[in-house]
Chain A
């Protein structure tokens, strides 16, 4: 566990970090509802490729987003080690399929660097900032930007 507690301040934030391939990403812990193992999802017709389908989350039907595909990365077939991070955003609950959860981070706002100007649209859209810890670079996912795309598809 990384213990980068520089100071206890009101701007301290916690993140769940996870891996997709070689890259590390994180999401704000406040939006994470639970983390569960991979279970086969029921595919949906008429659906973009990054939606793996739906699973049963205690009686609710939960769509599973393959984050790798969403970010334009190489997606691996899910294994027993794959993990679904259940996040709540914009009034919806969605499962994010990632390779593995790696860490829980506690950092101050100041540590988060703005995303450099990249040519890649997807990076610009989905990465809100970068956190550097122990020479690891962890990208913070802008969850709210993952989801509105769904409405655009629906429209």
Chain B
């Protein structure tokens, strides 16, 4: 049972990834950058969710995913046109699917009303638009399906099927045309085409060539099983292609050298064959061609009819380069690109021209066969295209390239899943290595070796290596912010719908990497800031048009690295902060004095004050008046900072900066009564050496520091931690002016400052327990443990200590 649960957990993890893929694809479709492969990717994602859900008996999920999948199938077979309205519907459908998955994961009940409504809508698309397709065009009209689904395969079915019989109708006789300088006929797909000729017309015969890559075996798939599966579909003749098999001494055990050609005779559709190879898609070379079958559809689509007309017309001059209008230029180009990409550069495309052309000679309808290719206006050596019949990934890449490299297809990255504990362990060990190396260097220096000596130089190399290892190890734990950003488009859609605003999310810097520990905590602040941007920042469409802006507002979410920190920016092109109103609210809520003089920046930052909320009506979007102060507090807890910049009428930008990792911290290393302590830099406002007259005694022991007309209580760090009984005179030491999370200030007194340093955070709790006033520990360069002070706790401890004193201890 446990095992099943574990698999289920994996399934849900995969669901998350699949839904992310799905959304990426749909967004690409929405933006108009999608292609056939994008639609396929979305279809596959939904299909995989359905498949997995079925295995776990999640029936509600399966039922819904099935409807979704059916519509996607209609879309990818182009029976339903992916118009913008449909894509928006699909996006919402994906949201509902994500909800269903979440419900299944937590064993909760999905929102049945929403699901039912979505199902009705989806079915409306399916029935409403499927009916519009020619009624007598059965789904097997591969000539229409194939180009969209697996573009390069287009050649055989599209060019041949509809035309072969047509030529009969037209009384078109095969003719031979001699083309000079086209020597080489040794070309496989054309050979296949010849086979087609020999057989046509006859029972449906498919020619499947299948050549696994080593990846296929690496993923524990087995070619024999796939071939056996083909056998089940009909009668097969399988031939082995071992031409790539090297000599034994050159053979790599883990490589794949064998390929097969299967002649499959069966009354099935191409999709059925594709299905056999569904799970090795991309891990093999696969071509499927129809062997000379009669077209199953009499109702040829217009472009085909046009081609037929051309075929029937007196044989034009065979000049395959002449542009001839064609329905699928991109596909043909894709085929070309795929071919070019797949072949070593040394092999010139010219022989391919030779191969293609003679083959067509025998058919006697060269123009149609060559048409989709030749039509490409500027494609060099366009003739090469009919020949290649490559598999999807290369084709998709080529397609993207053809379309001006709009959006590179999501390359499948080989990743490994590793227990984070192992990485943490590695990070610890590397930290130890760094310290050890530093100690060694110190010893060497103590023994008086010259910096040019072999030992010292060897140590330098060791130091560089150690640094490289440390960077490398930290990089293992780094993840791109994509995982967080991916969740946001949906949020924006929902918030925009709720607030009746139109918002478009633009993301930037998704590949920015940051430590996993930080990633996990980015989501909440970003969510909050985005909600705020739409709810408070953007105007309603009517207001925007009035202000001369497009009705749709733009919210930009960007991530970048700056100064060793990760910066997240959320900006909108809305109305900006209404400063007079913010100021009035702050005065009304007693947050500032009515006569306070504030800069624009200071006014903007008032919204971060606790209890401030500009929404006159508490909406369910931006929270219950807890607003930005909560965001700021959670960001500060991570050692981060948040700020806002706003221009009235033009919009606002929230900037959130966080450390790249929670494993290290920027700290001020100080000496206190012979102990070394680290004070987190984020808490420190400034450090100073006070003059004697700035320190005022208050009460018998307490004292305060005058900082620019305000008095801040002085806290001796040594006394708080019991390192000494009597505080040192503040003007003999160093004062760190700090601000705790609730905004109160205090002045910490230390003996001296050693400097500012990045330190690795080590837990005290794992082997001991929490110690009040101590946030964690770290290991210094000399290998000793230093404690990291918890500034807030220190202030609190001091405050508690006060009542114990009979007299007023320190005014705060």
| B722→A42 contact, CB < 8 A | no
| B429→A92 contact, CB < 8 A | no
Of B762, B767, B784, chain A has the most CB atoms within 10 Å of the CB of B767
Closest to A154 in B: B769
**B643 at interface, CB cutoff 8 A:** no
Query: Can you list 5 A-B contacts with CB-CB less than 8 angstroms, sorted by A residue number?
Result: A41-B785, A44-B774, A45-B722, A61-B766, A61-B785
Produce 1/0 per residue, B778-795, CB < 8 A to A.
Answer: 010001111100000000
| A54→B768 contact, CB < 8 A | yes
Produce 1/0 per residue, A64-88, CB < 8 A to B.
Answer: 0000000000000000000000000
Instruction: Count residues of chain A with CB under 8 A from any CB of chain B.
Output: 26
| B762→A60 contact, CB < 8 A | yes
Of A56, A62, A92, A154, chain B has the most CB atoms within 10 Å of the CB of A56
**A47 at interface, CB cutoff 8 A:** yes
| Interchain CB contact (< 8 A) of B432 among A59, A62, A153 | A59
Given A43-B675, A45-B721, A56-B784, A62–B767 Cβ distance below 8 Å?
yes
**A130 at interface, CB cutoff 8 A:** no
Given A59-B429, A59-B762, A42–B784 Cβ distance below 8 Å?
yes
- In Å, the complex CA distance between A53 and B431 comes to 21
| Interchain CB contact (< 8 A) of B774 among A45, A60, A62, A63 | A45
**A115 at interface, CB cutoff 8 A:** no
Query: Nearest Cβ in chain A — how far from B547, in angstroms?
Result: 58
Q: Which A residues lie within 8 Å of B429 (CB)?
A: 58-59
Of B432, B777, B785, B786, chain A has the most CB atoms within 10 Å of the CB of B785
Produce 1/0 per residue, A33-50, CB < 8 A to B.
Answer: 000000011111111000
* 5 further A-B pairs in the complex, CB-CB below 8 A; given A45-B772, A59-B431: A45-B720, A51-B768, A54-B768, A56-B783, A63-B768
10 smallest CB-CB distances across A and B, nearest first, come from A59-B428, A45-B721, A63-B768, A59-B432, A42-B785, A154-B769, A61-B777, A58-B432, A56-B779, A61-B762
Q: Which B residues lie within 8 Å of A154 (CB)?
A: 769-770
Q: Which B residues lie within 8 Å of A106 (CB)?
A: none
| B675→A60 contact, CB < 8 A | no
Q: Which B residues lie within 8 Å of A41 (CB)?
A: 785
**B771 at interface, CB cutoff 8 A:** yes
| A60→B783 contact, CB < 8 A | no
| A46→B777 contact, CB < 8 A | no
Given A42-B785, A61-B762, A61-B785, A47–B771 Cβ distance below 8 Å?
yes
| B767→A58 contact, CB < 8 A | no
Query: Nearest Cβ in chain B — how far from A66, in angstroms?
Result: 14
**B505 at interface, CB cutoff 8 A:** no
| B771→A44 contact, CB < 8 A | yes
Q: Which residues between 125 and 155 of chain A lie within 8 Å of chain B, taking CB atoms?
A: 150-151, 153-154
Produce 1/0 per residue, B419-459, CB < 8 A to A.
Answer: 00000000011011001000000000000000000000000
Q: Which A residues lie within 8 Å of B762 (CB)?
A: 59-61
**A93 at interface, CB cutoff 8 A:** yes
- In Å, the complex CA distance between A43 and B785 comes to 9
**B763 at interface, CB cutoff 8 A:** yes
- In Å, the complex CA distance between A2 and B414 comes to 58
- In Å, the complex CA distance between A64 and B552 comes to 63
| B779→A46 contact, CB < 8 A | no
Of A42, A55, A61, chain B has the most CB atoms within 10 Å of the CB of A61
Q: Which B residues lie within 8 Å of A58 (CB)?
A: 428-429, 432
Instruction: Count residues of chain B with CB under 8 A from any CB of chain A.
Output: 30
**A94 at interface, CB cutoff 8 A:** yes
| A92→B767 contact, CB < 8 A | yes
| B769→A60 contact, CB < 8 A | no
Closest to B780 in A: A56
Query: Nearest Cβ in chain A — how far from B506, in angstroms?
Result: 42
Q: Which A residues lie within 8 Å of B676 (CB)?
A: 42
Q: Which B residues lie within 8 Å of A63 (CB)?
A: 767-768
Q: Which A residues lie within 8 Å of B772 (CB)?
A: 45-46
**B764 at interface, CB cutoff 8 A:** yes
Query: Nearest Cβ in chain A — how far from B35, in angstroms?
Result: 50
**B170 at interface, CB cutoff 8 A:** no
Q: Which A residues lie within 8 Å of B720 (CB)?
A: 45
| B428→A42 contact, CB < 8 A | no
**B56 at interface, CB cutoff 8 A:** no
Q: Which A residues lie within 8 Å of B770 (CB)?
A: 154
| B432→A42 contact, CB < 8 A | no
Q: Which B residues lie within 8 Å of A44 (CB)?
A: 764, 768, 771, 774, 787
Q: Which residues between 86 and 128 of chain A lie within 8 Å of chain B, taking CB atoms?
A: 92-94
- In Å, the complex CA distance between A77 and B721 comes to 22
Given A56-B435, A61-B763, A40–B784 Cβ distance below 8 Å?
yes
| A92→B768 contact, CB < 8 A | yes
| B785→A56 contact, CB < 8 A | yes
- In Å, the complex CA distance between A92 and B429 comes to 18
- In Å, the complex CA distance between A43 and B722 comes to 10
| B771→A94 contact, CB < 8 A | no
**B773 at interface, CB cutoff 8 A:** yes
Query: Nearest Cβ in chain B — how far from A24, in angstroms?
Result: 27
Q: Which B residues lie within 8 Å of A94 (CB)?
A: 767-768
**B279 at interface, CB cutoff 8 A:** no
| B764→A61 contact, CB < 8 A | yes
| A61→B767 contact, CB < 8 A | yes
Query: Nearest Cβ in chain B — how far from A91, in angstroms?
Result: 9
- In Å, the complex CA distance between A40 and B784 comes to 8
- In Å, the complex CA distance between A124 and B392 comes to 76
| A46→B431 contact, CB < 8 A | no
Q: Which B residues lie within 8 Å of A42 (CB)?
A: 675-676, 777, 784-787
| Interchain CB contact (< 8 A) of A60 among B428, B435, B771 | B428
- In Å, the complex CA distance between A54 and B777 comes to 9
| A153→B769 contact, CB < 8 A | yes
| B428→A150 contact, CB < 8 A | no
Q: Which A residues lie within 8 Å of B783 (CB)?
A: 56
Q: Which residues between 347 and 364 of chain B lie within 8 Å of chain A, taking CB atoms?
A: none
- In Å, the complex CA distance between A58 and B435 comes to 9
| A46→B771 contact, CB < 8 A | yes
Q: Which residues between 20 and 43 of chain B lie within 8 Å of chain A, taking CB atoms?
A: none
| A93→B785 contact, CB < 8 A | no
